[in-house]
Structure 1
């Protein structure tokens, strides 16, 4: 469990002090993948660097499994740092070392004996799918392969937390997929808590359990992705779910009821909407929206229109079966919009 409370961090700027983090608080349950998202300058990378103890916050606390890292110093601080693996945004592999040699670096620094070191490197190369590239140098690897070596190196000391800063930046979709698959394996097979700093919402869709949205150094939204996509006015829903076609209010006059609905899980792929229409003898039309997948869970967002005396009953029935239903205004036919 990672708990951040009232974290602040400022840097000197041309016009005075710039506050990169302004009272940031969030919790990351153990064994989950958290996506930290936001526009450039929102404070994402600064937050990651503070959690990794690469930057000292001005105030606040960072607790990992109950230990406040900010209060540590000396040997205790060095030991705590070893529990946090970091995958930097830039390519940081040593060109004169092979893939295996780069992964071995932290183990050499920790004075791990040769046979144990060799075994650990082999395990990590297998985890990231690069056993056949052990003797290759970085310039002989693709960008995605180098990123996977960097992940393996960050895991060499068996950390409980892994921080990845823009791990898919500048990678093509296929290569991005291979890197995200590795990060998902890190969580599922090793039980490591993963924090991913990213501007790419496709990363959140693919593997994140939780999300923290930053704006101007503040957390403006935080929680389970599947909970937030169903919340009214959610920034996460706006960013992750299919867009709804803009249907004019005048057009709504053609229907008795219009509503936006969000369906999560089985309801998104089942026959819920046709069954509602059949049960309540209403005509149901889709005006916009579509389906997506969030970490293997199907999620749909539609704008639907209903005609019939039991339109309200049909919408109520849909809501009682797990859908989030938000009614849209309709006009009496002939009324100006």
Structure 2
């Protein structure tokens, strides 16, 4: 759906050119939600603006459904932009228009007749759960409600791609959840491909299929969230999984100590007890815990094993789909 190839973008700075994007490459599958994360100044918002062609990159290609947007101009570019809905950072609603009027604005600009326009606005207000606020003005709405109206407005022209730049910034947890639910519904019910720029890894935890980590204008990590959390050395795993604290005094009492990541209901519920039974080892949980990524349960545990077949138990857990990384405590071997 979206392919970004070797994208670069520079801006003038006080000491010369600042490279906001430095050879960025990304693939976003149709109908998925990609979270673009990273520290402040990493290039996240610049990437979103370039994908929407609100900023022109210095070089590289941005392909949406195979069409390179960078190569377009005039009428062709305007038509391509209509396939990309944008939820800008901050409160972007027009104060003199009602919620319904704000949602209708792109349809009015496109010359959509009144009856069709009203039907579409009603559909979108229902999608974002604000049908009862159709006649309310932005100053009569909460921050989360305004953001949901902004999402509805971005969806008005039936785009295939939705870009949301920090859509939950400055919102409380409950309000954040309502906005994320709307973005997820847009993907599930409308088939929209969603790119979310955020500093909040909680957004990735709740709705993202894939994640791209930017740092210094470069993509330093990119892939499916559930694949990346299985790699204990990844930034994604460090940010999303329960922390595991070392306790050498306790861990030294075991024959083997390992960090184990389990993904999915079957793995979380069964792999460790099954390993205990199969290999006759004593297995204890020394730290970690459970979390949920989207609808998928994920666990990271530090486990201590005692018994002659401890190595075999860890190898079997790895072969059965668990990610196993042995720690340095105890007589450790090579990672299973």
TM-score, structure 1 as length reference? 0.96
* SS state at 2:42 partner: coil
Asked whether the 8 Å contact 1:268–1:298 carries over to 2, the reply is no
Give the equivalent residue in structure 1 for 2:334.
none
Q: CA deviation at 1:236?
A: 0.6
Q: CA deviation at 1:129?
A: 0.5
Q: CA deviation at 1:319?
A: 1.6
Matches within 5 A, 1:86-165: 86-165=86-165
Asked whether the 8 Å contact 1:4–1:63 carries over to 2, the reply is yes
Give deviations 1:114-158, integer Å, cap 9, x for gaps: 111111111110111111100000011010000000000001110
Give the equivalent residue in structure 2 for 1:335.
none
* SS state at 2:252 partner: helix
Supply the distance in 2 between the matched residues of 1:146 and 1:90 (Cα, whole angstroms).
Answer: 10
Supply the distance in 2 between the matched residues of 1:48 and 1:11 (Cα, whole angstroms).
Answer: 15
Moved more, 310-319 or 13-22: 310-319
Q: CA deviation at 1:179?
A: 0.4
* SS state at 1:254 partner: coil
Supply the distance in 1 between the matched residues of 2:67 and 2:145 (Cα, whole angstroms).
Answer: 34
Is 1:273 matched with 2:242? no
Matches within 5 A, 1:1-337: 1-248=1-248, 251-331=250-330
Give deviations 1:68-102, integer Å, cap 9, x for gaps: 00000000000011000000011110111100000
Q: CA deviation at 1:232?
A: 4.5
TM-score, structure 2 as length reference? 0.97
Q: CA deviation at 1:329?
A: 2.4
Supply the distance in 2 between the matched residues of 1:21 and 1:330 (Cα, whole angstroms).
Answer: 41
* SS state at 2:50 partner: helix
Asked whether the 8 Å contact 1:100–1:121 carries over to 2, the reply is yes
Moved more, 269-278 or 16-25: 269-278
Supply the distance in 1 between the matched residues of 2:143 and 2:179 (Cα, whole angstroms).
Answer: 10
Q: CA deviation at 1:252?
A: 3.0
Between the two proteins, the alignment pairs up a number of residues equal to 331
Moved more, 11-20 or 268-277: 268-277
Moved more, 173-182 or 274-283: 274-283
Supply the distance in 2 between the matched residues of 1:124 and 1:252 (Cα, whole angstroms).
Answer: 55
Supply the distance in 2 between the matched residues of 1:177 and 1:232 (Cα, whole angstroms).
Answer: 27
Gaps of 5+ in 1: 333-337
Q: CA deviation at 1:276?
A: 1.4
Asked whether the 8 Å contact 2:267–2:321 carries over to 1, the reply is no
Gaps of 5+ in 2: 332-336
Supply the distance in 2 between the matched residues of 1:181 and 1:78 (Cα, whole angstroms).
Answer: 30
Asked whether the 8 Å contact 2:61–2:70 carries over to 1, the reply is yes
Supply the distance in 2 between the matched residues of 1:273 and 1:182 (Cα, whole angstroms).
Answer: 37
Supply the distance in 2 between the matched residues of 1:143 and 1:300 (Cα, whole angstroms).
Answer: 34
Q: CA deviation at 1:175?
A: 0.6
Supply the distance in 2 between the matched residues of 1:277 and 1:327 (Cα, whole angstroms).
Answer: 17
Give deviations 1:264-287, integer Å, cap 9, x for gaps: 002443132122112222111111
Moved over 3 A (4+): none
Asked whether the 8 Å contact 1:267–1:323 carries over to 2, the reply is no
